[in-house]
Protein backbone atom coordinates (compact mmCIF):
# COMPACT_ATOMS: atom_id res chain seq x y z
CA UNK A 1 0.00 0.00 0.00
CA UNK A 2 1.21 3.52 -0.79
CA UNK A 3 0.13 6.39 1.48
CA UNK A 4 1.33 9.77 0.19
CA UNK A 5 1.60 12.69 2.59
CA UNK A 6 -0.82 14.96 0.75
CA UNK A 7 -3.33 15.28 -2.04
CA UNK A 8 -5.35 17.95 -3.82
CA UNK A 9 -8.96 17.87 -4.94
CA UNK A 10 -9.52 19.54 -8.31
CA UNK A 11 -13.26 19.59 -8.96
CA UNK A 12 -15.13 19.75 -12.25
CA UNK A 13 -16.15 23.30 -11.37
CA UNK A 14 -12.50 24.27 -10.94
CA UNK A 15 -11.68 22.84 -14.37
CA UNK A 16 -14.54 24.81 -15.92
CA UNK A 17 -13.40 28.04 -14.26
CA UNK A 18 -9.79 27.49 -15.32
CA UNK A 19 -10.90 27.01 -18.94
CA UNK A 20 -13.10 30.09 -18.71
CA UNK A 21 -10.18 32.17 -17.47
CA UNK A 22 -7.93 30.82 -20.24
CA UNK A 23 -10.57 31.53 -22.88
CA UNK A 24 -11.09 35.11 -21.70
CA UNK A 25 -7.35 35.80 -21.36
CA UNK A 26 -8.01 37.23 -17.90
CA UNK A 27 -5.38 35.37 -15.88
CA UNK A 28 -4.05 37.88 -13.39
CA UNK A 29 -5.96 38.75 -10.22
CA UNK A 30 -9.60 39.35 -11.14
CA UNK A 31 -13.17 38.31 -10.50
CA UNK A 32 -12.39 34.77 -9.34
CA UNK A 33 -9.88 36.03 -6.79
CA UNK A 34 -12.48 38.50 -5.50
CA UNK A 35 -15.06 35.72 -5.24
CA UNK A 36 -12.62 33.44 -3.47
CA UNK A 37 -11.81 36.17 -0.95
CA UNK A 38 -15.46 36.79 -0.23
CA UNK A 39 -16.29 33.13 0.26
CA UNK A 40 -13.22 32.39 2.38
CA UNK A 41 -14.06 35.26 4.73
CA UNK A 42 -17.61 33.95 5.06
CA UNK A 43 -16.35 30.44 5.75
CA UNK A 44 -14.00 31.54 8.53
CA UNK A 45 -16.38 34.15 9.92
CA UNK A 46 -14.11 37.12 9.26
CA UNK A 47 -15.14 40.52 7.92
CA UNK A 48 -12.39 40.58 5.32
CA UNK A 49 -9.91 38.31 3.60
CA UNK A 50 -7.12 39.24 1.22
CA UNK A 51 -5.65 36.61 -1.10
CA UNK A 52 -1.92 36.49 -1.80
CA UNK A 53 0.59 34.26 -3.57
CA UNK A 54 1.68 32.01 -0.68
CA UNK A 55 1.23 31.28 3.00
CA UNK A 56 4.63 32.83 3.65
CA UNK A 57 3.51 36.02 1.92
CA UNK A 58 0.39 35.93 4.09
CA UNK A 59 2.64 36.04 7.17
CA UNK A 60 4.87 38.74 5.68
CA UNK A 61 2.06 41.05 4.64
CA UNK A 62 0.15 40.62 7.90
CA UNK A 63 3.28 41.76 9.71
CA UNK A 64 4.01 44.58 7.27
CA UNK A 65 0.57 46.06 7.99
CA UNK A 66 1.94 47.09 11.38
CA UNK A 67 4.10 49.82 9.86
CA UNK A 68 0.94 51.78 9.16
CA UNK A 69 0.04 51.53 12.83
CA UNK A 70 3.21 52.66 14.57
CA UNK A 71 5.73 49.85 14.12
CA UNK A 72 9.27 50.58 12.99
CA UNK A 73 11.78 48.44 11.13
CA UNK A 74 13.78 46.30 13.50
CA UNK A 75 10.97 46.04 16.04
CA UNK A 76 10.42 42.63 17.57
CA UNK A 77 7.87 39.90 16.85
CA UNK A 78 7.47 37.00 19.27
CA UNK A 79 7.23 33.62 17.53
CA UNK A 80 7.53 29.98 18.60
CA UNK A 81 10.93 28.37 18.18
CA UNK A 82 9.30 25.30 16.59
CA UNK A 83 7.58 25.89 13.27
CA UNK A 84 8.08 25.50 9.57
CA UNK A 85 10.94 27.84 8.76
CA UNK A 86 8.59 30.17 6.84
CA UNK A 87 7.46 31.66 10.16
CA UNK A 88 10.94 32.92 10.97
CA UNK A 89 11.66 33.85 7.36
CA UNK A 90 8.50 35.97 7.21
CA UNK A 91 9.46 38.06 10.23
CA UNK A 92 12.82 38.89 8.65
CA UNK A 93 11.32 39.51 5.22
CA UNK A 94 8.87 41.98 6.75
CA UNK A 95 11.79 43.90 8.27
CA UNK A 96 11.30 42.84 11.89
CA UNK A 97 13.41 40.92 14.41
CA UNK A 98 12.16 37.48 15.46
CA UNK A 99 12.20 36.77 19.19
CA UNK A 100 11.88 33.03 19.68
CA UNK A 101 10.05 31.36 22.55
CA UNK A 102 10.15 27.65 23.35
CA UNK A 103 7.10 25.45 22.88
CA UNK A 104 5.06 23.11 25.04
CA UNK A 105 5.93 19.55 24.04
CA UNK A 106 2.38 18.33 24.59
CA UNK A 107 0.72 20.89 22.31
CA UNK A 108 3.66 21.65 19.95
CA UNK A 109 2.65 25.31 20.27
CA UNK A 110 4.28 28.35 21.83
CA UNK A 111 4.41 28.06 25.63
CA UNK A 112 2.31 31.03 26.79
CA UNK A 113 3.99 31.00 30.21
CA UNK A 114 7.29 31.95 28.55
CA UNK A 115 5.98 34.90 26.53
CA UNK A 116 5.98 37.64 29.19
CA UNK A 117 9.71 37.33 29.80
CA UNK A 118 10.41 37.72 26.06
CA UNK A 119 8.59 41.06 25.76
CA UNK A 120 10.66 44.25 25.51
CA UNK A 121 9.98 47.88 24.65
CA UNK A 122 10.53 46.98 20.99
CA UNK A 123 7.96 44.16 20.89
CA UNK A 124 5.07 44.91 18.52
CA UNK A 125 3.26 41.62 18.06
CA UNK A 126 2.92 37.98 19.04
CA UNK A 127 2.62 35.48 16.19
CA UNK A 128 1.42 32.14 17.60
CA UNK A 129 1.41 29.18 15.23
CA UNK A 130 -1.41 26.63 15.35
CA UNK A 131 1.04 23.85 14.56
CA UNK A 132 -0.46 20.74 12.94
CA UNK A 133 -3.82 22.49 13.20
CA UNK A 134 -3.92 22.37 17.01
CA UNK A 135 -5.03 25.78 18.31
CA UNK A 136 -2.56 27.70 20.44
CA UNK A 137 -3.71 28.87 23.90
CA UNK A 138 -5.25 32.03 22.53
CA UNK A 139 -7.00 33.22 25.70
CA UNK A 140 -3.69 33.55 27.53
CA UNK A 141 -1.90 34.95 24.49
CA UNK A 142 -4.58 37.60 23.91
CA UNK A 143 -4.54 38.54 27.60
CA UNK A 144 -0.77 39.04 27.48
CA UNK A 145 -1.06 41.03 24.26
CA UNK A 146 -3.76 43.22 25.78
CA UNK A 147 -1.67 44.03 28.84
CA UNK A 148 1.30 45.02 26.71
CA UNK A 149 -0.68 46.68 23.88
CA UNK A 150 0.59 44.20 21.29
CA UNK A 151 -0.99 42.91 18.10
CA UNK A 152 -1.73 39.21 17.67
CA UNK A 153 -1.26 37.62 14.25
CA UNK A 154 -2.19 33.95 13.95
CA UNK A 155 0.02 31.83 11.75
CA UNK A 156 -2.87 29.58 10.76
CA UNK A 157 -1.06 27.97 7.82
CA UNK A 158 -2.10 24.46 8.87
CA UNK A 159 -5.21 25.39 10.82
CA UNK A 160 -8.04 25.19 8.28
CA UNK A 161 -11.06 24.07 10.26
CA UNK A 162 -9.46 24.57 13.67
CA UNK A 163 -11.82 25.87 16.37
CA UNK A 164 -10.88 27.30 19.77
CA UNK A 165 -13.64 27.83 22.31
CA UNK A 166 -16.27 28.33 19.64
CA UNK A 167 -14.25 30.62 17.37
CA UNK A 168 -12.53 29.67 14.13
CA UNK A 169 -8.81 29.96 13.62
CA UNK A 170 -8.24 33.17 11.71
CA UNK A 171 -10.64 35.13 13.92
CA UNK A 172 -8.77 34.72 17.22
CA UNK A 173 -6.38 37.64 16.82
CA UNK A 174 -6.02 40.84 14.82
CA UNK A 175 -5.20 38.91 11.65
CA UNK A 176 -4.87 35.27 10.59
CA UNK A 177 -2.49 34.05 7.88
CA UNK A 178 -3.38 30.83 6.05
CA UNK A 179 -1.45 28.75 3.56
CA UNK A 180 -3.31 27.40 0.54
CA UNK A 181 -0.50 25.11 -0.55
CA UNK A 182 -1.27 21.88 -2.37
CA UNK A 183 -1.33 19.63 0.72
CA UNK A 184 -3.73 21.80 2.71
CA UNK A 185 -7.48 21.38 3.25
CA UNK A 186 -8.34 24.36 1.06
CA UNK A 187 -5.81 24.63 -1.72
CA UNK A 188 -5.16 26.95 -4.63
CA UNK A 189 -2.06 24.88 -5.53
CA UNK A 190 0.16 27.73 -4.37
CA UNK A 191 -1.33 30.61 -2.46
CA UNK A 192 -2.20 32.18 0.85
CA UNK A 193 -4.86 34.38 2.40
CA UNK A 194 -5.11 36.76 5.35
CA UNK A 195 -8.29 37.16 7.38
CA UNK A 196 -9.13 40.10 9.62
CA UNK A 197 -12.01 41.86 11.32
CA UNK A 198 -10.36 45.24 10.75
CA UNK A 199 -11.26 46.95 7.48
CA UNK A 200 -8.29 49.33 7.77
CA UNK A 201 -5.92 46.35 7.95
CA UNK A 202 -7.55 44.82 4.87
CA UNK A 203 -7.14 48.04 2.90
CA UNK A 204 -3.43 48.18 3.72
CA UNK A 205 -3.07 44.48 2.82
CA UNK A 206 -4.54 45.10 -0.63
CA UNK A 207 -1.98 47.86 -1.13
CA UNK A 208 0.93 45.79 0.19
CA UNK A 209 0.29 42.82 -2.13
CA UNK A 210 0.54 45.12 -5.14
CA UNK A 211 3.78 47.05 -4.55
CA UNK A 212 2.27 49.40 -1.96
CA UNK A 213 0.19 51.25 -4.52
CA UNK A 214 -2.65 53.59 -3.66
CA UNK A 215 -5.11 51.52 -5.72
CA UNK A 216 -6.56 49.28 -3.01
CA UNK A 217 -10.34 49.10 -3.35
CA UNK A 218 -12.02 45.94 -2.06
CA UNK A 219 -13.57 45.23 -5.47
CA UNK A 220 -11.57 46.95 -8.19
CA UNK A 221 -13.16 47.31 -11.61
CA UNK A 222 -9.68 47.40 -13.12
CA UNK A 223 -9.08 43.92 -11.72
CA UNK A 224 -12.41 42.43 -12.74
CA UNK A 225 -13.01 43.86 -16.20
CA UNK A 226 -11.79 46.45 -18.66
CA UNK A 227 -13.88 49.24 -17.25
CA UNK A 228 -13.74 52.92 -16.49
CA UNK A 229 -12.66 53.80 -12.95
CA UNK A 230 -13.47 57.29 -11.71
CA UNK A 231 -10.80 56.97 -9.00
CA UNK A 232 -7.97 56.11 -11.37
CA UNK A 233 -6.93 59.65 -12.26
CA UNK A 234 -8.93 61.47 -9.57
CA UNK A 235 -9.33 65.21 -9.49
CA UNK A 236 -6.16 66.39 -7.78
CA UNK A 237 -3.89 66.09 -10.79
CA UNK A 238 -1.55 63.66 -9.07
CA UNK A 239 -1.60 61.14 -11.92
CA UNK A 240 -2.62 57.50 -12.36
CA UNK A 241 -3.45 56.05 -8.93
CA UNK A 242 -1.93 52.74 -9.98
CA UNK A 243 1.47 54.46 -10.04
CA UNK A 244 1.17 56.21 -6.71
CA UNK A 245 2.93 54.14 -4.04
CA UNK A 246 2.00 54.89 -0.45
CA UNK A 247 4.21 52.36 1.36
CA UNK A 248 6.93 49.77 0.81
CA UNK A 249 5.11 46.88 -0.78
CA UNK A 250 5.45 43.44 -2.33
CA UNK A 251 4.39 41.58 -5.47
CA UNK A 252 2.15 38.95 -3.92
CA UNK A 253 -1.08 38.69 -5.87
CA UNK A 254 -3.03 35.49 -6.39
CA UNK A 255 -3.96 34.73 -10.01
CA UNK A 256 -7.26 33.60 -11.51
CA UNK A 257 -6.19 30.01 -12.18
CA UNK A 258 -5.25 29.51 -8.54
CA UNK A 259 -8.51 31.07 -7.37
CA UNK A 260 -10.43 28.76 -9.71
CA UNK A 261 -8.95 25.71 -7.99
CA UNK A 262 -9.70 27.27 -4.61
CA UNK A 263 -13.33 27.95 -5.45
CA UNK A 264 -13.83 24.29 -6.29
CA UNK A 265 -12.25 23.33 -2.96
CA UNK A 266 -14.61 25.66 -1.10
CA UNK A 267 -17.58 23.87 -2.68
CA UNK A 268 -16.50 20.59 -1.09
CA UNK A 269 -14.82 22.04 2.00
CA UNK A 270 -17.14 20.37 4.52
CA UNK A 271 -16.68 17.02 2.82
CA UNK A 272 -12.87 17.35 2.85
CA UNK A 273 -12.80 18.61 6.43
CA UNK A 274 -15.09 15.87 7.70
CA UNK A 275 -13.06 13.10 6.06
CA UNK A 276 -9.70 14.44 7.22
CA UNK A 277 -10.96 15.02 10.77
CA UNK A 278 -12.40 11.50 10.88
CA UNK A 279 -9.01 10.12 9.84
CA UNK A 280 -7.06 12.26 12.31
CA UNK A 281 -9.25 11.54 15.32
CA UNK A 282 -9.29 7.81 14.50
CA UNK A 283 -5.49 7.75 14.37
CA UNK A 284 -5.11 9.85 17.52
CA UNK A 285 -7.26 7.35 19.40
CA UNK A 286 -5.40 4.33 18.05
CA UNK A 287 -1.92 5.75 18.58
CA UNK A 288 -2.44 6.03 22.33
CA UNK A 289 -1.61 2.31 22.59
CA UNK A 290 1.98 3.09 21.60
CA UNK A 291 2.69 5.28 24.61
CA UNK A 292 5.24 5.67 26.17
CA UNK A 293 7.29 5.01 23.03
CA UNK A 294 5.41 7.26 20.58
CA UNK A 295 2.95 10.01 21.48
CA UNK A 296 0.92 12.58 19.59
CA UNK A 297 -1.16 15.64 20.42
CA UNK A 298 -4.43 15.40 22.35
CA UNK A 299 -7.78 17.00 21.52
CA UNK A 300 -9.15 19.18 24.31
CA UNK A 301 -12.93 19.42 24.94
CA UNK A 302 -12.97 23.11 23.98
CA UNK A 303 -11.32 22.72 20.59
CA UNK A 304 -11.43 21.10 17.20
CA UNK A 305 -8.06 20.36 15.64
CA UNK A 306 -7.59 21.44 12.05
CA UNK A 307 -6.82 18.02 10.52
CA UNK A 308 -3.65 18.86 8.64
CA UNK A 309 -1.53 15.81 9.55
CA UNK A 310 -0.75 13.29 12.27
CA UNK A 311 2.28 14.29 14.38
CA UNK A 312 4.27 11.62 16.24
CA UNK A 313 7.09 12.14 18.72
CA UNK A 314 9.47 9.42 19.89
CA UNK A 315 9.81 9.57 23.65
CA UNK A 316 12.88 9.37 25.89
CA UNK A 317 14.04 5.86 26.70
CA UNK A 318 12.80 4.31 23.46
CA UNK A 319 15.13 1.73 21.96
CA UNK A 320 14.88 3.10 18.45
CA UNK A 321 15.65 6.32 16.62
CA UNK A 322 13.60 8.52 14.36
CA UNK A 323 15.80 7.39 11.47
CA UNK A 324 14.85 3.75 12.11
CA UNK A 325 11.14 4.56 12.40
CA UNK A 326 11.15 6.66 9.24
CA UNK A 327 12.98 3.95 7.31
CA UNK A 328 10.37 1.37 8.34
CA UNK A 329 7.44 3.62 7.43
CA UNK A 330 8.91 4.68 4.10
CA UNK A 331 9.78 1.10 3.12
CA UNK A 332 6.18 0.21 3.98
CA UNK A 333 4.90 2.89 1.59
CA UNK A 334 3.98 5.51 4.21
CA UNK A 335 5.25 8.95 3.25
CA UNK A 336 6.76 10.88 6.19
CA UNK A 337 7.91 14.40 7.02
CA UNK A 338 10.09 15.60 9.88
CA UNK A 339 8.14 17.61 12.46
CA UNK A 340 10.07 20.78 11.59
CA UNK A 341 12.95 22.10 13.68
CA UNK A 342 13.94 24.64 16.28
CA UNK A 343 14.35 27.55 13.87
CA UNK A 344 16.97 29.51 15.87
CA UNK A 345 19.18 26.53 16.78
CA UNK A 346 18.60 23.84 14.15
CA UNK A 347 18.27 25.96 10.98
CA UNK A 348 21.71 27.10 9.82
CA UNK A 349 20.31 30.22 8.19
CA UNK A 350 19.38 31.54 11.62
CA UNK A 351 22.82 31.05 13.18
CA UNK A 352 23.31 34.81 12.99
CA UNK A 353 20.73 35.23 15.78
CA UNK A 354 23.37 33.97 18.22
CA UNK A 355 21.34 31.24 19.87
CA UNK A 356 23.03 28.02 20.95
CA UNK A 357 21.83 24.47 21.25
CA UNK A 358 19.97 24.02 24.51
CA UNK A 359 18.26 27.43 24.43
CA UNK A 360 14.98 25.86 23.27
CA UNK A 361 15.02 22.30 24.64
CA UNK A 362 11.42 21.38 23.81
CA UNK A 363 11.59 22.66 20.24
CA UNK A 364 14.96 20.98 19.77
CA UNK A 365 13.70 17.65 21.12
CA UNK A 366 10.76 17.65 18.73
CA UNK A 367 13.06 18.77 15.91
CA UNK A 368 15.19 15.68 16.50
CA UNK A 369 12.47 13.17 17.37
CA UNK A 370 9.25 14.24 15.65
CA UNK A 371 7.63 13.26 12.35
CA UNK A 372 4.22 13.74 10.76
CA UNK A 373 2.22 11.78 8.19
CA UNK A 374 -0.83 12.50 6.06
CA UNK A 375 -4.49 12.23 7.06
CA UNK A 376 -5.88 13.59 3.81
CA UNK A 377 -9.25 12.98 2.17
CA UNK A 378 -8.03 10.24 -0.16
CA UNK A 379 -7.41 8.00 2.85
CA UNK A 380 -9.98 5.86 4.64
CA UNK A 381 -10.18 3.43 7.53
CA UNK A 382 -8.28 0.77 5.59
CA UNK A 383 -5.31 3.09 5.10
CA UNK A 384 -5.49 4.30 8.71
CA UNK A 385 -5.46 0.71 9.98
CA UNK A 386 -2.48 0.01 7.74
CA UNK A 387 -0.62 2.90 9.39
CA UNK A 388 -1.41 1.59 12.86
CA UNK A 389 -0.50 -2.00 11.94
CA UNK A 390 2.78 -0.82 10.45
CA UNK A 391 3.63 1.07 13.64
CA UNK A 392 2.66 -1.94 15.74
CA UNK A 393 4.89 -4.19 13.64
CA UNK A 394 7.80 -1.80 14.11
CA UNK A 395 7.33 -1.49 17.88
CA UNK A 396 7.04 -5.26 18.26
CA UNK A 397 10.58 -5.49 16.91
CA UNK A 398 12.12 -2.47 18.64
CA UNK A 399 10.25 -1.54 21.81
Please write the tens of the pLDDT for every residue from 197-209: 999 999 999 999 9
Of the candidates 374, 380, 379, 384, the one whose C-alpha atom is nearest the C-alpha of residue 184 is: 374
4 lies in some domain: no
Tell me: do 140 and 208 sit in the same domain. yes
Question: What percent of the chain is modeled with pLDDT above 90?
Answer: 89
Local structure of residue 245 (DSSP, 8 states): B
* pLDDT band for position 223 (cuts 50, 70, 90): low
Last residue of a domain, which of 252, 267, 282?
267
Note the pLDDT of residue 224: 58
Asked if residue 3 is part of any domain, the answer here is no
Tally the domains of the chain: 2
Q: What is the pLDDT of residue 226?
A: 59
> How distant is the alpha carbon of residue 243 from its chain centre?
32
Same domain, 322 and 254: no
Distance CA 212, CA 52 (A): 14
Query: Are residues 141 and 179 both part of a single domain?
Result: yes
Residue 166 and residue 118 in one domain: yes
For residue 308, is pLDDT > 80?
yes
Answer yes or no: is pLDDT of 116 > 70: yes
DSSP 49-105: EEEES-HHHHHHHHHHGGGGGT--TT-EEEEESEE-THHHHHHHHTT-EEEEE-B-T
Q: Is 94 within a domain?
A: yes
Of 224, 374, 260, which Cα lies nearest the Cα of 312?
Answer: 374
Would 137 be classed as within a structural domain? yes
pLDDT at 216: 77
d(CA 397, CA 268): 42
Average per-residue pLDDT in the chain?
95
CA distance 313 to 366: 7
pLDDT over 70 for what percent of the chain? 97
Per the structure, the complete domain to which residue 238 belongs is given by 12-267
User: Per-residue confidence at 225, pLDDT binned at 50, 70, 90?
Assistant: low
Are residues 57 and 199 both part of a single domain?
yes
182 and 249 co-located in one domain = yes
Lowest mean pLDDT among 78-92, 98-112, 211-225, 350-364: 211-225
Domain shared by 236 and 372, yes or no: no
Residues 316-338, mean pLDDT to the nearest whole number: 97
By the 10 Å C-beta count (0-12 exposed, 13-18 middle, 19+ buried), 92 is classed as middle
Cα separation, 62 vs 155, in Å, equals 10
Report yes or no on 6 lying in a domain. no
Does 272 score more than 60 pLDDT? yes
Q: What is the CATH number of the domain that holds 318?
A: 3.90.1150.10
CA separation for the pair 390, 384 (Å, rounded): 10
Instruction: Pick the last residue of a domain from 237, 267, 297.
Output: 267
Between residues 319 and 236, the one the model is more confident about: 319
Rounded to an integer, the average pLDDT of 275-292 is 97
Q: How many residues would you count in the chain?
A: 399
pLDDT for res 327: 98
**pLDDT score for 235:** 56
List of E strands, 163-252 = 163-164, 167-168, 175-179, 192-196
The average pLDDT across 280-284 equals 98
205, exposed or middle or buried, with CB in 10 Å at 0-12, 13-18, 19+?
buried
Model confidence pLDDT, tens digit, residues 235-268 = 566 778 888 889 999 999 999 999 999 999 999 9
Say yes or no: 215 and 321 in one domain. Answer: no
- 292 with 217, same domain: the answer is no
pLDDT band at 399 (very low <50, low <70, confident <90, very high): confident
What is the mean pLDDT of the segment spanning 286-301?
A: 97
Predicted local confidence at residue 243, as pLDDT: 85
Do 171 and 66 share a structural domain? yes
Q: 7 in a domain, yes or no?
A: no
Which of 238, 267, 296 terminates a domain? The answer is: 267
* 376 and 259 within one domain: no
Model confidence at 222, pLDDT cuts 50, 70, 90, reads: low
250 lies in some domain: yes
**Over 60: is that where the pLDDT of 99 sits?**
yes
Residue 339 within any structural domain of the chain: yes
Strands 294-295 and 309-314: antiparallel
CATH classification of the domain holding 217: 3.40.640.10
Dump pLDDT digits (tens) for 382-398: 999 999 999 999 999 98
365 plus 248 within the same structural domain: no
Three-class DSSP category at 297: coil
Amino acid sequence: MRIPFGTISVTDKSRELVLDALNTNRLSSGKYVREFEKRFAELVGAKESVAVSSGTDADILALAVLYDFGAERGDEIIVPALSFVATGNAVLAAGFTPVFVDVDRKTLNIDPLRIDSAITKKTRAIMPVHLMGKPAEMDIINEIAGRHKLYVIEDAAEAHGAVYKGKNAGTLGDMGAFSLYVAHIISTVEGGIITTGNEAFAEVLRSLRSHGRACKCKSCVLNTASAYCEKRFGSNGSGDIRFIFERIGFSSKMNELEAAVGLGNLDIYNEILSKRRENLYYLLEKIRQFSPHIVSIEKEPYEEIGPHALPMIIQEGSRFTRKQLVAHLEKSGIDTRDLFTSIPTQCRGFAFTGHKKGDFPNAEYIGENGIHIGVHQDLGEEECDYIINTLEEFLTRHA
